[in-house]
Amino acid sequence: MTAVAAAGYALAAVLFGVLTLLLATQWRGRAKGGYLLAASVVSTVWAGLHAWQILYQTLPPNLLLAAESLRYFTWLLFLLAVLSPVAQRDPAYRRALAGAHLVLFGLVAVVLLSLDDYGPVGAVAGSETTRADLKLIGQLLLAIAGMGLIEQVLRNTPPEARWGIKFLCIGLGAIFVFDFYLYTDALLFRRLDHDIWLARGVVNAMVVPLLAVSAARNPDWSMPLAVSRRMVLHTTAFFSAGVYMLLMALAGYYIKVYGGEWGQILQAAFIMGALLVLLVLLFSGQLRARLRVLINKHFFTYRYDYREEWLHLMAALAGPGSDRPLNERVIFAIAEIVESPGGLLWLCDERGSCRIAARLHHPELDLPPQPPGDALTAFLEERRWVIDLDELARDPTRYGSLPLPGWLDAVDSPWLIVPLMHNDRLKGFVVLFRPRAPQALNWENLDLLKTAGMQAASYLALNQAAQALAEARQFEGFNRISAFVIHDLKNLIAQLSLVVSNAQRHRANPEFIDDAVRTIENSVAKMNRLMSQLRSATAADAADRVDLAALVRDVATAHQRQRPAPRYEGPATPVPVRAEPDRLSAVIGHIVQNAQDATPPTGEVEIGLAVSSGRATVTVRDTGAGMDDAFIRERLFRPFDSTKGLTGMGIGAYECREFVTSLGGWVEVRSAPGKGTSFTIVIPTADAAGEG
């Protein structure tokens, strides 16, 4: 018994200590918060002293009685502070409270002046001294004063505000009523009841959570206490499970004692059945939903912990570790807010037509689309309301007698319709099913659902934009390949046109015929490769080992017919590089062609090749018109920007830079108006890249 009583006082000390820490860390100098903090500190010390005394009996009785009186004094001062707003409005009540302060100081003084060797858990029978009577009477009057102040707090609090102080009144009222019973019994029978005194620790420990809830509901006492809903839910569930198992254990013991020869068997079966029932209850989603609604409704200022709700919403929409597609995650994230088991998602296109896009925990449905301008979608986009179908059935005028679509009759238990708004446009809507536990909707539910709907709509819009971007990139890649192929075909057509134009004069020349056949064969082979690239939408074939010196010589030879004919200078030995030969030849040929086009027939075009430090450098110099720095910086490498009018594609220089960069090289251009241009291509050799 002594150990249990000490544990009760120790538990009260721990709980009051935790409450003290919460209040101390969040107190910002408010008067009521200061009184509450002082009362919590004194209660912590009071409970700790009594726990020590029960175990070790080493403290002087006067110290315990002084702690008892100070505990009353601080709690009564706090109650008087709670009543201070009433005194500010009523001068008569202000005078009454001033008198109450004087009476309180007088009672505490009487108790403290009556201190003697009488201990809090001792017999007083036979002690007829006035000091002992004053001591008991003083403690009894303090308890009565506490009950009176509790009654005043309740009476002077408006009914709509009693939600914030009801747990305070219940908790402190329990303390004062218990003490009133204790000291009344002591005064009547001239002794303190040992068992009642020892039970006070447990009673005081039980009321601390009620005081904490009241402190959280009244920010003007201190800063709001951050009591986690999840912790309260889990603690309540754990405590309820413990009480349940305790009752089942008592019932099992009763069965064993009075069950006769079958008692032990029945006890084992009963305990096992009780465990199974407990497991079923703990894993019941409906029970958890009802418990969450109960806690949020009765123990917290707001129904939701918005930080946790927002983090949970973001995690559900982002879907880390989830194999659900985004559309189903949207339904799940919104349904979780109101404990709905699932729903249907409708998405709207640019014309305003909405189609069902996903379902969660509902059979497959073939529902018709919502046509543009439908009454439901128009209402959701204009009003942005969450439609409560039950409220709509009870009071259609609130929703402007909104006609509901016929497909709702095919949906199992529809409850709410949540709009998904994005940039002032209806992106879609979610039809939620009825929740696991009945819920009364208020502004908190509806505002949170609308906010969650807007966030979900932004995710859906971002997902659709990403899909559209991926499709656009596919078309962009195909169009880019097409442009490159057309550009190369244009160059091939120019070569064939040159053969045709010279055929009238040189058709009898066998060397011309051989050269024309080689040109046609080469053009056909290139066109076949280009068509293959266009069909497969790939930019180039696999890179091969190419002799760059031979390739540059061939390019110079192929452009000898146009004036000024290019002059090649380079090494006679092979210069191996890794590249796709046709594209590399086309890139260098394009630069040479541009140099010839920009240079008069009397000018010069030089093609140089040099190798140094594992890099091959191809330089094409001309004495043509040249370019200024602004043109080189802003227009030369811009795709589809040509200075040749309708005859140019505007992608040659761009393709050259992109292709050379893909080989690990770079392109440099130096030019000045009237002084010509130097176009330099630098690419790594195959040996430098580790090719043998």
Q: Are residues 551 and 662 in the same domain?
A: yes
Q: Taking a C-beta distance cutoff of 8 angstroms, is the pair 352, 383 a contact? A: no
Residue 124 pLDDT: 41
Torsion angle, CA of 352/358/361/366, rounded to 10 degrees?
Answer: 70
For 97-101, 271-275, 658-662, which range has the lowest pLDDT when averaged over its residues?
271-275
Q: Are residues 179 and 292 in the same domain?
A: no
- Domain assignment present for residue 428? The answer is yes
For 24-33, 148-157, 168-177, 293-302, which range has the lowest pLDDT when averaged over its residues?
293-302
Residue 606 pLDDT: 92
Q: Are residues 75 and 113 in the same domain?
A: yes
Q: Are residues 295 and 383 in the same domain?
A: no
Q: Is the per-residue pLDDT at 692 higher than 50?
A: no
What is the rounded average pLDDT for all residues in the chain?
Answer: 78
Structure tokens at 323: 């194999």
In sequence order, the β-bridge partners of residue 569 are 608
- Domain assignment present for residue 500? The answer is no
3-state secondary structure 213-227: HHHHHCCCCCCCCCC
Q: Is the per-residue pLDDT at 101 higher than 80?
A: no
Residue 263 pLDDT: 56
Q: Which of 299, 320, 342 is the last residue of a domain?
A: 299
The fraction of the chain above a pLDDT of 90, given in percent, is 18
Q: Output the CA–CA distances (angstroms, integers) from residue 634 to 27, 188, 630, in the order listed.
A: 63, 104, 6
Distance CA 223, CA 226 (A): 9
Q: Which of 299, 316, 342 is the last residue of a domain?
A: 299
- Domain assignment present for residue 58? The answer is yes
Q: Which of 422, 442, 464 is the last residue of a domain?
A: 464
Q: Is the per-residue pLDDT at 691 higher than 50?
A: no
Distance CA 547, CA 571 (A): 11
Q: Are residues 313 and 281 in the same domain?
A: no
- Domain assignment present for residue 690? The answer is no
Q: Are residues 61 and 168 in the same domain?
A: yes
Map tokens 């997902």 to a residue. 463
Structural domain total, the chain: 4
91-100, 289-298, 588-597: which has the highest mean pLDDT? 588-597
More confident residue, 655 or 115: 655
Q: What are phi and psi of 581, to 5 degrees?
A: -60, -40
- Domain assignment present for residue 383? The answer is yes
More confident residue, 257 or 456: 456
Residue 257 pLDDT: 61
Residue-wise DSSP of 477-543: HHHHHHHHHHHHHHHHHHHHHHHHHHHHHHTT-HHHHHHHHHHHHHHHHHHHHHHHHHHHT-S----
Residue 476 pLDDT: 64
103-112, 124-133, 170-179: which has the highest mean pLDDT? 170-179
Residue-wise DSSP of 306-341: HHHHHHHHHHHHH-TT--S-HHHHHHHHHHHHTT--
Average pLDDT over residues 9-34: 83
- Report pLDDT digits (tens) over 199-243: 888 889 989 988 888 887 777 675 444 445 555 555 555 556 656
At 439, which CATH number? Answer: 3.30.450.40
Residue 288 pLDDT: 59
Q: Are residues 187 and 261 in the same domain?
A: no
At 36, which CATH number? Answer: 1.20.1070
Distance CA 666, CA 684 (A): 10
First to last CA, the chain: 92
Q: Are residues 123 and 184 in the same domain?
A: yes
3-state secondary structure 228-242: CHHHHHHHHHHHHHH
For β-strands 615-622 and 666-672, DSSP reports them as unpaired
Q: Which of 142, 198, 170, 158 is nearest to 9 (CA)?
A: 198
Residue 609 pLDDT: 92
**Three-state DSSP class for 565?**
coil
At 607, which CATH number? Answer: 3.30.565.10
Residues 6 or more apart whose CB falls under 8 angstroms from that of 119 comprise 61, 64
Residue 345 pLDDT: 95
Confidence of residue 401 (pLDDT cuts 50, 70, 90): confident
Residue 379 pLDDT: 92
Q: Are residues 549 and 623 in the same domain?
A: yes
- Domain assignment present for residue 400? The answer is yes
Residue 154 pLDDT: 85
**DSSP-based helix, strand, coil % in the chain, nearest 5:** 65, 10, 25
Residue 117 pLDDT: 44
Q: Which stretches within 560-651 are classed as H helix?
A: 581-598, 629-634
For 316-325, 425-434, 454-463, 595-604, which range has the lowest pLDDT when averaged over its residues?
316-325
For 52-66, 497-511, 558-572, 646-660, which range has the lowest pLDDT when averaged over its residues?
646-660
Q: How many CA atoms lie within 13 A of 186 on its CB side?
A: 30
Q: Is the per-residue pLDDT at 671 higher than 50?
A: yes
Distance CA 10, CA 52 (A): 8
Q: Are residues 289 and 202 in the same domain?
A: no
**Three-state DSSP class for 668?**
strand
Q: Domain range for residue 454?
A: 306-464
Distance CA 361, CA 431 (A): 12
Residue 530 pLDDT: 67
Residue 689 pLDDT: 55
Position 398, amino acid: R
Position 444, amino acid: E
- Domain assignment present for residue 470? The answer is no
Q: Which of 654, 587, 576 is nearest to 615 (CA)?
A: 576
C-alpha Rg value of the chain to the nearest Å: 45
Q: Which of 444, 17, 22 is nearest to 214 (CA)?
A: 22
9-23, 208-222, 256-270, 627-641: which has the highest mean pLDDT? 9-23
For 202-206, 391-395, 559-563, which range has the lowest pLDDT when averaged over its residues?
559-563
Q: What are phi and psi of 358, to 5 degrees?
A: -160, 160
Q: Output the CA–CA distances (angstroms, integers) from residue 179 to 170, 368, 437, 547, in the order listed.
A: 14, 71, 41, 105
3-state secondary structure 20-82: HHHHHHHCCCCHHHHHHHHHHHHHHHHHHHHHHHHHHCCCCHHHHHHHHHHHHHHHHHHHHHH
In sequence order, the β-bridge partners of residue 430 are 345, 418
- Strands of 375-460 (E only): list them: 387-388, 414-422, 425-433
- Report pLDDT digits (tens) over 359-379: 998 888 788 888 888 899 999
Q: Are residues 33 and 172 in the same domain?
A: yes
Distance CA 598, CA 592 (A): 10
Confidence of residue 648 (pLDDT cuts 50, 70, 90): very low
Residue 466 pLDDT: 85
- Domain assignment present for residue 63? The answer is yes
Q: Are residues 144 and 254 in the same domain?
A: no
